Chains A and B, each alone.
Chain A
Amino acid sequence: MGAILLRRLASAVPILAIVSILTFGMIHLIPGDPAAAIAGLSATPEQIANIRRDLGLDQPLMSQLIHWYGNLFQGDLGRSLLLGQPVVEATMQRLPVTVALSAYALVITLVIGLVTGIVAALRQNTWIDQVAMILAMIGISLPNFYLGLLMIILFAVQLRWLPTGGYVAFTDDPLGWLATSTMPAISLALLLAGLLARITRSTMLEVLRQDYIRTARAKGLPSRKVVVKHALANAMIPITTVIGIIVSLLISGSVVTETLFSIPGIGQLLTQAVLNRDYPMVQGGLLITTALLVLVNIAVDVCYALLDPRVRYDGA
C-alpha cells in the first residue's frame, strides 16, 4: 500500500516538471513583446519598461528560468499585477472556496448519480429505468450556465428563497454557506450526475452478469447483499476512474459557475486574471490547479488499490 502511494507520488514529479516548464514558457508565447501586451494599449514606454523589469523579462532566458525555479522551490510564484498581493497568497485565499463548492457538488453528484444508476440497472428495461435514463440525458444535455440561470430566475428572483449570488464561508456561517452554495453546486453537479448515472448503470449491468454474482446467489445470500456487497464492490473499480474525471471537471467547471454566481473562488480569480492580462496570476493559478488535479489522480490510483486486490498485489 505504502509502496503504491510512493510510486504514484514519484510519477507526479515528471508531470509537475513538464507543467512548470510550460507555465514558465507561457509568457513567452505572447506574440510580440510580452511586457507591452501585459501593460495594455494605453501604456507609456516607461510603464512597459517597468513591467519588463519587474517580471525579469529583460534578463536572458536561462537566468529567467533559474530565477523561476529558484522562486518556485521557495513557494514564491510572483506577485499578482492586478491584486498586488503574492500569487500564492491570493490562490490560497480562494482555494478553500472552490474546494468546498466542488466537494458539495461532488457529494450531490455521487448521491444522485450512483443511486440513479444502481436503481436503473436493477430495474433494467422497466419504466423506472427509462425515466431515470431520460433524466440523466437531460442532465447531460443542459449546459450548466443555462441551468444556473434558470435556477437564479426561479429560486432567487421569483421565489426569493436563495440569494442570487455571493458567498459565505462555511466556517463563518454554515447555513449561509448552504444558502449561497446550493444553487451553484447543483448547477455544477447535475450534468456530472447524469454522466455518472449512465456509467454506473452500464457498469452494474455488466457486473450483474458475472459468474461470481450467480455464485453469491447460489450460496443463498439475500439479494440486497448480492447487490450491495458483491456487485457494487466490483462496479466501483471502473466507476472510480469516472469519479476522478468528474472531480477534474468540477474544478474546471467552477470557472463558469463561480462567475455566474459571483463566488470568489479559483475559477473567478483565474477568469479575472486572464481578462486583465495578469500573467503571473494566470501562471501561478494554473500551476497550483494542475498540482491539485495531479493529487486527485494519485488519490484515484490509491482508491484503485484499496478496491482491487489484484492492483494491490501487482503494485507491491
Chain B
Amino acid sequence: MPLLDVQNLTTAFQTQRGEITAVEDISFSLEPGEILGIVGESGSGKSVTALTIMGLLPRPPARIAGGSIRFEGTELTTLSQSRMQGIRGPGIAMVFQEPMTSLNPVFSIGDQLMETIRAHERLPPKALFARAVEMLDRVGIPSASTRMKDYPHQLSGGQRQRVMLAMALVCRPRLLIADEPTTALDVTIQAQILDLILDLRDEFGMAVMIITHNMGVVAETADRVMVMYAGRVVEEAPVTTLFDRPLHPYTRGLLECVPSLTEEMDRLVAIPGTLPEPARRPQGCRFAPRCRYAEPACRAGLPPLESYDPGHSAACIRVPELTRP
C-alpha cells in the first residue's frame, strides 16, 4: 500500500467570475521514504495540490470538486477537522516558501516548537524541552538550548527555515511536504537546507514531496518527478529518465531553460509565452499555444496521460512521432 495515494484530485475555487479549477484530475502516489519532486511554473497548481492534501485551503472559496486523497489508507478529503488536526504534524508535515514570515513573531522558537509536540503528545515539561532542543540541534541550530528563548526576528532566513524544518519534523511525520523550501534563501544556504532535508529523510525514513520550479533542486533531491502545467500533470518519470529522455515538449522546454556550463550559449533559453490564466485556458492541450510542435489535433481535446515506459508517462498526443529515432 502506498503511503500517499492521490486519485483524480480536482480542487476548485469559487471566484466572482465563476468557479475555476486550480488543480484538475491529478493522480500520483508516494511510497514510504520516497522523494517526489513536483515542478512547474508559478500558478501551475503545485502549491494548491500540497495545501489540498494538508487540508489547509479555506473552504469556501476552495472546494475539492472530485477525487480522493488516501494517506496510509485513510481518506483525507472527507475527514473531520479534528481528525485532520491529528494527521497534520505526526502524519504529514509541511514547510513553506517564506521562512521570514512563517514563524509567529511574538512567540519564542522554543515555545512554537514545544507547542507542536504538546498538540500531539503528552510529555512532562523536562522531556518536552529536551525533545525540542534535540530537534533544533539536529537541524543545525548552534547552542540550541540557549536559543530556545530567541524570537524569530533574531534569526537569519536560513536559520528560520531550519527552525521550520525542526517544527515540521519534531513529531516524526511519515510525509514531509516542502513547498519551495529554498526559493527565498541565498544560494549557499539553499544547498545546506536541501542536504539537511536529504539527511533527515535518511534518518527518519519519511517520504518527501518537494515542490519547486527549479530543475536543479529536483535533480539533486528527487527519486521521481511530476511535471505540472496549468493545473494538470503533463509528465511523470523517475528523475534520471526525465532528464535523459523527456517526452513532453513542456518538460523539454523546462530542461532547456537550465543554463549549461559545458555548452556554449549565446543567450538564456526561455519558453515563449506565459501560463494561461485559469479562467482563460485554451481548448485542448493547454500547452499548445506555447508549443513549437503543436498541430491542429492538439487543440481538439485534452491529451490523456499515457504510459510509455514503466513509470514514465506523458500527456502529449505527439509523443510517438516526436520520439521516433
Binds A, one of B25-33, B89-97, B220-228: B89-97
| Assembled-state Cα–Cα distance A274/B41 (Å) | 71
| Assembled-state Cα–Cα distance A210/B100 (Å) | 11
| Assembled-state Cα–Cα distance A218/B95 (Å) | 9
A228 to chain B, nearest CB (A): 12
Q: Return chain A residues, CB-CB under 8 Å to B171.
A: 220
Within residues 185 to 228 of chain A, which ones have a CB less than 8 A from any CB in chain B?
A: 210-212, 214-223, 225
Select B81's contact among A215, A223, A308, beta carbons within 8 Å: A223
Q: Which residue of A lies closest to B171 (CB)?
A: A220
Beyond A223-B81, A313-B154, whether A218 also contacts B104 by CB under 8 A is no
Interchain CB contact under 8 A, B106 and A307: yes
B34 to chain A, nearest CB (A): 21
Beyond A215-B96, A217-B56, A220-B120, whether A313 also contacts B153 by CB under 8 A is yes
Select B164's contact among A215, A223, A225, A230, beta carbons within 8 Å: A215
Beyond A308-B106, A309-B106, A310-B105, whether A218 also contacts B153 by CB under 8 A is no
Interchain CB contact under 8 A, A214 and B96: yes
Q: How many A-B residue pairs have CB under 8 A?
A: 82
Q: How many residues of B sit at the interface, in one of the four size bands?
A: 20 to 34
A91 to chain B, nearest CB (A): 39
Q: Which residue of B lies closest to A216 (CB)?
A: B104
Select A218's contact among B54, B81, B107, B154, beta carbons within 8 Å: B54
Please tell me the number of chain A residues within 8 Å of chain B, measured between CB atoms. Answer: 24
Beyond A211-B96, A219-B89, A220-B89, whether A310 also contacts B104 by CB under 8 A is no
Interchain CB contact under 8 A, B87 and A310: no
Beyond A218-B93, A219-B167, A220-B87, whether A309 also contacts B104 by CB under 8 A is no
B99 to chain A, nearest CB (A): 9
Interface residues of B (CB under 8 A from A): 54, 56, 81-82, 85-90, 93-94, 96, 98, 101-108, 115-116, 119-120, 151, 153-154, 164, 167-168, 171
Interface residues of A (CB under 8 A from B): 210-212, 214-223, 225, 229-230, 233-234, 237, 307-310, 313
- 7 closest cross-chain pairs (CB), A and B: A220-B89, A220-B88, A212-B104, A211-B101, A309-B151, A219-B116, A211-B102
Give me 21 A-to-B residue pairs in the complex whose CB atoms sit less than 8 angstroms apart, sorted by A's number: A211-B96, A211-B101, A212-B103, A214-B56, A214-B96, A214-B102, A215-B96, A215-B102, A218-B168, A219-B115, A219-B168, A220-B116, A220-B119, A221-B115, A221-B119, A222-B82, A222-B85, A230-B104, A233-B107, A234-B104, A309-B106
